[in-house]
Structure 1
Amino acid sequence: MYIYMNIEKIFSIALKTWPIGNSFAINTNILETNLINLGVVLAILVYFGKGILSNLLENRKQNILSTIRDAEQCYQEAAAKLKQAKLRLEQAKLKADEIRIQGLAQLEREKLELIKAADEDSKRLEESKNVTIRFEQQRAIEQVRQQVSRLALERALETLNNSLNPDLQARIIDNHIGLLRTIEGVTES
């Protein structure tokens, strides 16, 4: 009975409000505050919602694991693509070096060919120049010869005309006729 009275006192104290200040108070009456109703609703939710909540959590867990697997697969694919890209980059660098070396070799060959062609052109021009100089020298010498011959002939004719009399002229003609007969006699025998 003593216990019963104590419980009754506790409930009577709990059912009263405790004022905090003039305008605000905490209501400790369990029946008025619906704490029992809230407890019952929460218990029902936990009991019946446990399966739904565990299903939701399991689905969420599966989604997260699936996302992680997909991310790992994407990472592996990206790593493989990166490896392939690095390999292609190295191959491209090697090819670029090879092309650069071939280009330098081709440049050197063309340079040597141009130097050789320039030397040949220079030699041909030098030879052509020398031929032209020799030709012009020969032509000048021939012109001088012709002019000297013409002048000598003119002078000889002038000298002959001045010093030649009819008697001397007849002797020269006879002398030449005799020479011609001698030459004819030698050729006939």
Structure 2
Amino acid sequence: MKNLSHFLLSLAHRPSDGAFGFNTDIFATNLINLSVVLGVLIFFGKGVLSDLLDNRKQRILSTIRNSEELRAGALEQIEKARVRLRKVEREADEFRVNGYSEIERQKVNLINGAYKNLEQLENDKNESIPLEQQRAINQVQQRVFQQALKGALGTLNSCLNGELHLRTILANIGILDSMKEMTH
């Protein structure tokens, strides 16, 4: 590399006696240098640039195809989601309608059941009040009868002597005999 740069510098400082050399005047050589550089770039860089552009083009086309495939997949997913959404909305509407009717039916059943329970309680109350009244009356009558019987026995025991006792027994036997004859 050192030899090449030394060679190029030596050519640049040679007198122009018809020999080959570099012209260091930029304005005089600018158009020629540009033409040579462009020619070399076009000649050698044409294939490289064409390959780079083809590669870039292929990547862009591949990206576009991938994007189109993704877009198609996304559209398909969106359509499936819309179908599912419509189905769920229909089911929700059906559930709402059925749910409201079921709630109303249960409400009516509960109200009817409550009325039936109230009627049954009223009937039980109406049936149990006379029974309880009769039971209370029977208990009072029993107590009054027991008190009266105790009082009568006490009075009889205090007033009854042997003779009166014998007459009472004979009178009761007579009543029983007459009842016996009536039944035959």
Name the TM tier (shorter chain). 0.5 to 0.7
Residue 82 of structure 1, CA deviation: 0.5
Distance in 2 between the 1:29 and 1:161 partners?
171
Aligned counterparts of 2:122 and 2:27: Cα–Cα separation in 1: 130
Alpha-carbon separation, structure 2, partners of 1:169 and 1:29:
178
Structure 1 partner of 2:48 = 52
The 2-side partners of 1:29 and 1:144 are apart by 148
**Across the two proteins, how many residue pairs are aligned to each other?**
160
Distance in 1 (CA, whole Å) between partners of 2:109 and 2:119 is 15
Q: In the alignment, which residue of structure 2 is the partner of 1:111?
A: 107
Matches of 1:48 and 1:162, distance apart in 2: 161
How far 1:59 sits from its partner (Å)? 2.3
Task: Report the Cα distance in structure 1 between the residues aligned to 2:152 and 2:94, rounded to whole angstroms.
Answer: 85
Match 1:77 to one of 73, 87, 103: 73
2:38 maps to which of 34, 39, 42: 42
Query: What's the counterpart of residue 87 of structure 2?
Result: 91
Q: Cα gap change, 1:55/1:181 in structure 2, threshold over 3 Å: closer, same or farther? A: same
Partner of 1:176: 172
> In structure 2, what is the Cα distance between the partners aligned to 1:28 and 1:66?
46
The one-letter amino acid paired with 1:117 is G
Does 1:30 find its partner at 2:28?
A: yes
RMSD after superposition:
3.1
SS at match of 1:146: helix
Structure 1 residue 164 displacement after superposition? 8.3
Letter in 1 for 2:47: G
Counterpart selection for 1:126 from 122, 127, 130: 122
Give the aligned residue type for 1:80.
E
AA aligned to 2:28 is I
Distance in 2 of aligned mates of 1:39 and 1:161: 166
Report the 3-state secondary structure (helix = DSSP H, G, I; strand = E; otherwise coil) of the residue aligned with 1:80: helix
Structure 1 unpaired stretches of 5+: 1-26
Aligned counterparts, 1:10-29, within 5 A: 29=27
What TM-score results when the alignment is normalised by the length of structure 1?
0.66
Deviations 1:40-82 (A, max 9, x none): 1211211232232223222222222222222112111111111
Deviation at 1:124, TM superposition (A): 2.7
1:62 aligned to 54, 58, 61, which one?
Answer: 58
Q: Tell me how far 1:126 sits from its aligned partner.
A: 1.8
Q: What is the SS of the residue equivalent to 1:115?
A: helix
C-alpha displacement of 1:137: 0.4
Q: CA deviation at 1:84?
A: 0.5
CA 60–158 in structure 1, closer or farther in 2 if over 3 Å, else same: closer
Where does residue 97 of structure 2 map in the other structure?
A: 101
From the two aligned structures, give the one with the greater strand fraction: 1
Letter of the 1:104 counterpart: Y
| Identical residues among aligned pairs (%) | 46
The answer to whether the aligner puts 1:145 opposite 2:160 as a matched pair is no
